[in-house]
């Protein structure tokens, strides 16, 4: 009987239980009168409530995908790295399946690094198609950051294994692209496709900056990812700009 199982074992069972097992866990132990078990059942119930709330949030995040589903393949587009003093600008393009049930997708800036990494792997596994575009600091200096961002987005689109019928973009309309586009202000927090693209772009860029940090540890790229923190600015003033610094961004720093 369930009452005979030690509370410690039940606790471990709950800890190991995947989300879909929570209803069975609650059903198995809700009649147990022990205080410790009742608390565990309450924990399971709270987890289940949070899970349902997340499912409802994701459902709301599919608003634009439902609105444009008759158009065909929908691709979300977003970038990472427009503001940093160093490193590339990276764009992500993602076509998610219509029945996508990936939870916790959001604006990448609202997620922890660990959660972004976890979601990156899930998105890469479940997406219909993905593409990444990378534009170097040298190119940013040549054509300016806005044009470089557009270039990265066009590259990301070109790398998709399937051609999308419509693009949902985070705030911008990309020049030189014939596919229909829908710019959405703060789209990475309003569209699941754009949110997924923002995660791919952010994780890709962060991984690149960690690699640059191994080559040039004096700048601290692994910590600030090229953004203009006080420590980063101090390092530039001490060591001078590195090969991946955007000269056009340094201005008064130098």
pLDDT at 20: 83
pLDDT at 55: 94
Q: Do residues 28 and 136 both lie within one domain?
A: no
Our count of domains for the chain comes to: 2
Q: Do residues 197 and 124 both lie within one domain?
A: yes
- Mean of the per-residue pLDDT values of the chain: 95
Residue 132 counted as domain residue? yes
Q: Do residues 97 and 119 both lie within one domain?
A: yes
Residues 6+ apart with CB under 8 A from 146: none
Asked which of 211, 230, 247 is the last residue of a domain, the reply is: 211
| Domain boundaries, position 154 | 64-211
Q: Do residues 56 and 68 both lie within one domain?
A: no
pLDDT at 254: 77
- With a cut of 70, say whether residue 1 has pLDDT above it: no
Closest CA to 111 of 183, 63, 54: 54
Q: Do residues 52 and 167 both lie within one domain?
A: no
Neighbours of 160 (CB within 10 A): 18
Q: Do residues 28 and 146 both lie within one domain?
A: no
Residue 220 counted as domain residue? no
pTM equals 0.89
DSSP structure class, residue 245: B
Q: Do residues 50 and 131 both lie within one domain?
A: no
């Amino acid at each position: 009987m369930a009452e005979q199982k030690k509370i410690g074992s039940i606790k471990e069972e709950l800890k190991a239980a995947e989300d879909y097992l929570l209803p069975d866990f609650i059903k198995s132990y809700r009649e147990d009168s022990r205080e410790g078990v009742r608390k565990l059942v309450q924990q399971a119930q709270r987890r289940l409530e949070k899970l349902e709330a997340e499912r409802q949030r994701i459902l709301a995040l599919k608003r634009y995908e439902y609105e444009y589903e008759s158009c065909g393949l929908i691709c979300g587009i977003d970038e990472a790295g427009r503001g940093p003093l160093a490193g590339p600008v990276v764009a992500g393009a993602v076509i998610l399946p219509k029945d996508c049930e990936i939870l916790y997708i959001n604006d990448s800036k609202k997620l922890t690094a660990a959660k972004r990494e976890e979601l990156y792997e899930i998105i890469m596994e479940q997406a219909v198609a993905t593409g990444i575009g990378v534009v170097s600091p040298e190119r940013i200096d040549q054509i300016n950051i806005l044009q470089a961002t557009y270039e990265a987005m066009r590259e990301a689109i070109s790398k998709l294994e399937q051609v999308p019928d419509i693009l949902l973009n985070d705030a911008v309309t990309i020049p030189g692209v014939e596919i229909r586009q829908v710019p959405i202000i703060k789209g990475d927090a309003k569209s699941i496709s754009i949110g997924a693209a923002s995660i791919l772009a952010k994780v890709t860029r962060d991984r690149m900056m960690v690699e640059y940090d191994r080559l040039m540890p004096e700048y601290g790229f692994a910590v600030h990812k090229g953004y203009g923190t006080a420590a980063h600015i101090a390092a530039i003033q001490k060591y001078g700009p590195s090969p991946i610094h955007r000269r056009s961004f340094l201005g008064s720093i130098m």
